[in-house]
Amino acid sequence: MMEYVINVNDVPAGKITGREIRDVFNEGNTGSNELSLRITDVLPGQTTYPGHIHTESDEIILILSGKGDIKIGDEVFPIKTWDAIFIPRGKEHLIRNVGEGAMRMVCTFSTSDLARDLESVDTMDF
């Protein structure tokens, strides 16, 4: 069933190490296999282990609240509210929250099948 409008608060949160995720739009509710949207809350003091790459999709992240760091490849960048980040497919990355509250992010992907697209990089750290 295609859904045009979804309130993020109506989407149940899933748990992944250091964060809560809400998959708002995906193939299941849009019919599109080329696009998805996830809201991610990185919990205070946490890192989004393991580092990972998206093998088949690009990712764009918009920080809605909070502050932290993102490591893309070997480079570390400070991030804060309203920063936008582009991560090309195949580029390893890892995020940590250095603030006192949750760091909320909007994450968009050029795929709807994030499980197929994901590869862990267990050795990645800050």
Question: Each residue of 20-30: pLDDT tens digit?
Answer: 999 999 888 98
pLDDT at 115 over 90: no
pLDDT tens digits for 37-63?
999 999 999 999 999 999 999 999 999
> What's the pLDDT at 85?
98
> In terms of CATH architecture, what is 17-121?
Sandwich (2.60)
CA–CA separation, 47 vs 40, rounded Å?
12
pLDDT at 1 over 70: no
> What's the pLDDT at 116?
83
How is the beta sheet containing 93-97 ordered, strand by strand?
75-80, 67-72, 93-97, 51-54, 118-121
SS3 content of the chain, % helix, strand, coil (to 5): 10, 50, 45
- Contact by Cβ (8 Å): 73, 126: no
pLDDT band at residue 2 under the 50/70/90 scheme: confident
> What's the pLDDT at 112?
85
Compute the average pLDDT of residues 93-109.
Answer: 97
Closest CA to 93 of 64, 45, 126: 126
> What's the pLDDT at 33?
85
Lowest mean pLDDT among 9-18, 23-32, 96-105: 23-32
> What's the pLDDT at 79?
98
pLDDT at 81 over 90: yes
Domain boundaries, the chain: 17-121
Q: Are strands 103-109 and 75-80 parallel, antiparallel or unpaired?
A: unpaired
